[in-house]
């Protein structure tokens, strides 16, 4: 199954929308010419019922490898959990050539380009939101979305034109927005896991609920 595409809802390799991110991208290309250093495309299956919304590529993670959550710690917890709950198949080796494939799932970041200090600005999040909105619209079988962190949560709400005040972020929270069920989780970053803001058990509980929800629709 394809892992990315050249769909109109994907930004081009030299997307010009955010000047600060463009400058940082060009800086990284000079420093690391062998890295991906471009807007990171989605990864997953076009008939996915589950979309996982992340924050943005890590500079030495997805920005280096070109695959979401690949190359840094966050991917170890995410992909291990996806494998355990049947949303991925294969072995995760933090390498896009590891043969790992998603099953009934897709991953897309709220911001496609790597931001300095992993902190996108509000204007950059807004500028990238049409790509998330377009990706949601392009998934005909979509039933559930997992938002990894508050920025991803707010990005999904913006994409769905849903009021943030009616759907506050909380780990383990669930929101019915039209035909879609939104599940919230703290981001699976090393910082969150090191500080125990998020434990593997907490993370697994969210995807356990997602699995239960989707299986109940079958």
Cα dihedral 109, 1, 78, 118 sign: negative
Q: Average per-residue pLDDT in the chain?
A: 95
pLDDT, tens digit (0-9, with 9 covering 90-100), for 104-131? 999 999 999 999 999 999 999 999 999 9
Do the beta carbons of residue 53 and residue 188 sit within 8 Å? no
pLDDT range class, residue 157, cuts 50, 70, 90: very high
pLDDT at 67 over 50: yes
What domains lie within the chain, and their CATH numbers? Answer: 19-217 (3.40.470.10)
Q: Strands 101-102, 180-185: parallel, antiparallel or unpaired by DSSP?
A: unpaired
- Nearest alpha carbon to residue 183 among 137, 156, 147: 147
**Percentage above 90 pLDDT, the chain:** 94
pLDDT at 6 over 90: no
Q: In what order do the strands lie in the sheet with 105-109?
A: 43-44, 105-109, 50-54, 144-148, 180-185, 174-177
pTM of the shown model: 0.94
pLDDT at 1 over 90: no
């Amino acid at each position: 199954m394809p892992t990315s595409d050249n769909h109109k809802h994907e930004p081009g390799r030299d997307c010009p929308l955010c000047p600060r991110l463009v400058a940082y991208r060009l800086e990284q290309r000079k420093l690391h010419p062998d890295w991906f250093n471009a807007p990171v495309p989605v990864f997953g299956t076009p008939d996915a019922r589950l979309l996982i919304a992340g924050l943005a590529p890590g500079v030495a993670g997805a920005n280096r490898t070109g695959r979401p959550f690949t190359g840094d710690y966050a991917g170890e917890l995410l992909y291990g959990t996806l494998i355990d709950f049947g949303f991925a198949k294969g072995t995760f080796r933090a390498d896009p050539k590891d043969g790992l494939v998603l099953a009934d799932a897709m991953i897309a970041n709220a911001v496609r380009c790597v931001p300095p200090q992993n902190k996108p600005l509000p204007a950059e999040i807004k500028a990238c939101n049409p790509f998330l909105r377009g990706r949601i619209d392009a998934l005909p079988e979509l039933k559930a979305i997992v938002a990894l962190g508050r920025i991803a949560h707010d990005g999904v709400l913006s994409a769905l034109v849903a009021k943030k005040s009616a759907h506050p972020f909380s780990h383990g929270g669930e929101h019915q927005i039209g035909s879609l069920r939104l599940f919230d989780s703290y981001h699976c970053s090393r910082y969150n896991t090191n500080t125990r803001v998020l434990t593997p058990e907490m993370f697994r509980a969210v995807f356990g609920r997602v699995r239960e929800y989707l299986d109940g629709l079958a």
